Structure 1
Amino acid sequence: MAGQFDIFTDAEANVRFRLLGADGTVLAISKAYDDKRAAAEGIMEVRECAGTGLIKETRSNAWGGTGWTRTGLPTPAHRRHRHFPAV
């Protein structure tokens, strides 16, 4: 079974959607929308770009900015960190 989108109303009465994996795991939660139609349009945008979206890693540095790496260069083993957003 494929994943699915679930439209819901949050505690602040905003309409949002979440992307659920095949096993029901929440993979992503959208921003707040004014109504169901706008949320459905957001789902269409995600569907359109998800298959071709690039992966970009952004890191924070000690001075509050974000660091960047040149594409295609391997990251040294001591600097390989995976950070995943809380859901």
Structure 2
Amino acid sequence: MAGQFELFTDAESRVRFRLLAADGTVLAVSRAYEDKRAAADGIMAVRECAGTGLIREDRTTPWGSTAWTRSSRVPQHRRRRHFPAGQ
């Protein structure tokens, strides 16, 4: 069974959605939306982006500056890697 999106109302009466794995594990929780229609549009955006999105690591220190590591001197376009699904 594939994962699923679940709409719910938060404590402030705003609509959100969560992405659940096949075993029911919560994988992601959305921001708050004004109504179900806006939340459904958010789900469609996630569906569209998730399959093609790149994986990027945020390399910052706890105080917000960039950590100086050997890999941070590599040009940005060379650091991004695309990992195909299933690998």
TM-score, normalising length: structure 1? 0.74
Aligned to 1:45: 45
Gaps of 5+ in 2: 81-87
Shift of 1:61: 1.4
8 Å contact 1:58–1:66 — kept in the other structure? Answer: no
Q: Tell me which residue corresponds to 2:83.
A: none
Question: What letter matches 2:17 in structure 1?
Answer: F
Greater fraction strand: 1
Deviation string 1:8-55 (CA, Å, 9 cap, x unpaired) is: 000011100000000000000000000000000000000001000000
Higher helix share: 2
Distance (whole Å) between structure 2 residues aligned to residue 26 and residue 50 of structure 1: 16
The runs of 4+ residues in structure 1 deviating greater than 4 Å are none
Q: Equivalents in 1 of 2:15, 2:62: separation in Å? A: 36
Percent identity of equivalent pairs: 69
- More divergent stretch after superposition (57-66 vs 4-13): 57-66
Separation (CA, whole Å) in 2 of partners of 1:23 and 1:45: 23
Provide the TM-score with structure 2 as the length reference: 0.74
Gaps of 5+ in 1: 73-87
Q: Would you say how many aligned residue pairs link Structure 1 and Structure 2?
A: 72
